[in-house]
Amino acid sequence: MSEARERRFAVPSSTYRIQLTPDFGFAEVAELAPYLRELGVGHVYLSPILQAVPESRHGYDVTDHSRVREEFGGARGLRALSETLNAHDLGLVVDIVPNHMTIPVPESGNRPLWSVLKEGRASPYARWFDIDWNGGKVSMPVLGDRAEPVVDGDVLRCHDHEFPYPDTFYRLVDWRAGPGYRRFFDVSSLIGLRVEDPGVFDATHEVILRLVEEGVVHGLRVDHPDGLAEPRGYLARLRAASGVWTVAEKILTGSERLPGDWDCDGTTGYEVLNHITRLLVDPAGEEPLVELFTAHTGMPRDYAAVVGASKREVLDLFFTAEVDRLRAAVGCDRATLVELLVAMPVYRAYVVPGEPVPEDSAAIVKEAGRIAAARLPEDAPIAEVVDRVLYGPAEVVTRFQQTCGPVMAKGVEDTALYRWYPLACLNEVGGEPDRFGEPVEDFHAFARRMSPGAMTTLSTHDTKRSEDVRARLAVLSELPGEWAAAVGEWSSKVSFDPALDYLAWQSLLGAWPIGPERFFGYLLKAAREAKTAISWAAPDPSYERGVRDFAARAIGECGASVAGFAARIEPFARANSLSQKLLQLMLPGVPDVYWGNEITDFSLVDPDNRRPVDFARRRRLLAGGDGDSWDRAKLLVTTRALNLRARLDPALPYVPIEAGEHAVAFARGDRAVAVVTRLPAGLAGRGGWGGETITLPRGRWRDLLSGAEHTGRIPLAHLLSAYPVALLERG
């Protein structure tokens, strides 16, 4: 097998995610190749590369599947990048978006959609989109309060929108109304694709699969497969056509596991992120932090109640069209269907029409039905609805599956997580903010089940806050009394909205130092997502001025105190930062480093976490230049671990090592050992390691961070004297 072909079918040793933008394209990525190779990266992992809205900063708003995005350098630039990466022994992974494409403004920027709006079902692209042809026309929500469509030749214009005229197969409706097509969550500008149709699959994947066949692309990350009609079938078709390493952006919650019949190598790693975060949270902090949160916000102690209320709210606000379409297919009343959707605990319970229903899937939906029944009148037809969505017609089964995910995403990720936040580091995608801490033995059990081909992550373009923000906030679980006193002091000086202030203080500490404009941008988004005072659809200029004033005053009047608190906890936050990094990089799976996070990064939710990265500074640090000790230590851990991973068999077993209350240790086969500090503030409070020891597996071991050599039984105070973590390779 040729070297290029081996790379095509190889599982990466690691990946490095880069956010492409119009001003950071393929040529700029190519310039990073020597740096990334020295860092120890195995594959470069790019955000979507197909043609999107020209000004798009993320690329998930694809307009043309037949072209590599021109703003990045086009197909020629991508091939040049591939040659550069190959020369530095780096592979290439790309993010693909099978679930949807964008409805741009003007709409003529999406040629397939324009054809459908003009020709209706006679269009050669009519099969592409998941459209409700109500009366033979698709509803397009673009009309504003004062919008007056104007005919301009063969085009109908409405503000910046344009539509074909006069032969039309659409109707314009109020922008707040639900559209006549399946969309991505509640985003009406993203229209759902029917990739279950083989012709649509072929057309929308032709360029990507050709790049795979040519050896330009060596791996795929699949965005939001839960939105598809049949994720399992899609992944099987994709694997058969590509044959490359593939991971799916599947959000697992609670004890949920990836469906065993999915033909992919694993998830993108949010469940790993959440297990690691919980491992570093002290469960003893739960009661005082929940008490502090409820006292400051007036919110209930019961997170589940907040989730239920949030789901009902988003169903009423955003998903009227989806619920009505599903209700018509099911043949039931709206209230029964809404309560069943609210009670669903996962993004999707996988049922394929015409196949036997998996026991786990049936159990999930039936339990949701039992919970819903308790909230409904006795004569509500909940049993019949459960039966229909599990065993009924294909449209009912599929449509219900495709509706659960958006309700979870908008109700939990984009609402409840902004309303209930006693310890915000737990408020992550797929996270459980009411689950404080994780016993070491439970973490070991989880790690032993991990797949060697699945991705692991700490930060992504979608995380609610970066890994180092979470590392700081986890310390608060160990120091709830000090934190309560600090919040009390700051709140006595500056206050605005009880539903927002306590999140603001956590965010200010976590992201410190942060300027007023960045802080305001985050708080404004948080308030809009929470929907307790304002929302994206219902702005309030007066409230927004209040948010801006709060952000400025909080920094101006309390900034020095916040800086002092951050300095006080920095040794503990630094320990958490290095511990979680080494855990992620050495656990089974393919570790992904989100761009810039090889050193400290204190970013909040997008777009804050998609700001340009100062690679010049990172190059200087890697070359031995001066820098903050936390940055240098994190870069050292990242570099040594990534380079070690490139030397290890990814299938090496995970072997737990006994290490006491404040350490977590494991071996990867007989080749490597990782040891990390856990709950560092508590460790310091008890006076350090004392006489605690760890017994290494047989052989001589060299610490790749300190250079020290060890064998046999070692005092933890000695092993972790240079850094709060140790990375050992067998000599």
DSSP string, 353-378: TTSPPPHHHHHHHHHHHHHHHTTS-T
Residues 205-224, mean pLDDT to the nearest whole number: 97
pLDDT for 8 beyond 60:
no
Strands 219-222, 245-248: pairing is parallel
Check whether residue 18 and residue 72 sit in a common domain: yes
Residue 78 is inside which H or E element, if any? helix 74-87
**Average pLDDT of the segment spanning 324-333:** 94
The one-character DSSP state at 695 is E
Give per-residue pLDDT as tens, 121-169.
999 999 999 999 988 999 999 998 777 899 999 999 998 999 999 989 9
Q: What is the pLDDT of residue 36?
A: 98
In the numeric block, the tokens 């991973």 are attached to 645
Owner of token pair 């659409």: 170
Any domain includes 718: no
Amino acid at 528: R
Q: Give the residue from 392, 418, 444 where a domain finishes.
A: 418
pLDDT at 146: 74
Mean pLDDT across 485-491: 98
pLDDT reported for residue 148: 83
Map 554-600 to HEC letters: HHHHHHHHHHHHHHHHHHHHHHHHHHHHHHHHHCCCEEEEECCCCCC
Residue 2 has pLDDT above 80, yes or no: no
For the chain, the distance separating the N- and C-terminal CA atoms, rounded to the nearest angstrom, is 31
85 and 9 in a single domain? The answer is yes
Q: How confident is the model at residue 134, as a pLDDT? A: 82
Please indicate, yes or no, if residue 621 is contained in any of the structural domains: no
Q: For residue 308, give every residue at least 6 positions away whose Cβ sits within 8 Å of its Cβ, in sequence order, or none.
A: 342
Q: Is 707 part of any domain? A: no
pLDDT over 50 at 29, yes or no: yes
What residues make up the domain containing 366?
300-418
Is the separation of the CB atoms in 45 and 15 below 8 Å?
Answer: yes
Query: Is residue 559 classed exposed, middle or buried when 0-12, 13-18 and 19+ CB atoms within 10 A define those classes?
Result: middle
Domain boundary among 268, 288, 314: 268
The percentage of residues in the chain with a pLDDT greater than 90, rounded to a whole number, is 95
Total domains, the chain: 3
pLDDT mean across residues, the chain: 96
What are the tokens at 703?
A: 């610490």
The residue out of 268, 286, 318 marking a domain boundary is 268
Q: Is the predicted pLDDT of residue 233 greater than 80, yes or no?
A: yes
Helices and strands, number each (H, E), in the chain? 25, 23
Counting residues of the chain whose pLDDT is more than 70, the rounded percentage is: 99
The 10s digit of each residue's pLDDT in 502-539 is 999 999 999 999 999 999 999 999 999 999 999 999 99
Is 86 found in the same domain as 141? no
Same domain, 209 and 185: no
Asked if the model's pLDDT at residue 6 lies above 70, the reply is no
What is the spatial distance between Cα 610 and Cα 667, in angstroms, rounded to a whole number? 35
* Rg of the chain (C-alpha set): 26
- Whether a cis peptide bond, with omega within 30° of 0, leads into 433 is no
Supply 14's token pair.
């690691």
Residue 4 has pLDDT above 70, yes or no: no
pLDDT, tens digit, for every residue of 654-695?
A: 999 999 999 999 999 999 999 999 999 999 999 999 999 999
Model confidence at 33, pLDDT cuts 50, 70, 90, reads: very high
* Residue 383 in domain: yes
161: left (phi over 0), alpha (psi -120 to 50) or beta: beta
CATH of the domain at 121: 3.30.1590.10
In this predicted structure, the answer to whether residue 82 has a pLDDT above a threshold of 90 is yes
pLDDT of 457 over the 70 cut:
yes
Answer whether residue 78 is part of any domain: yes
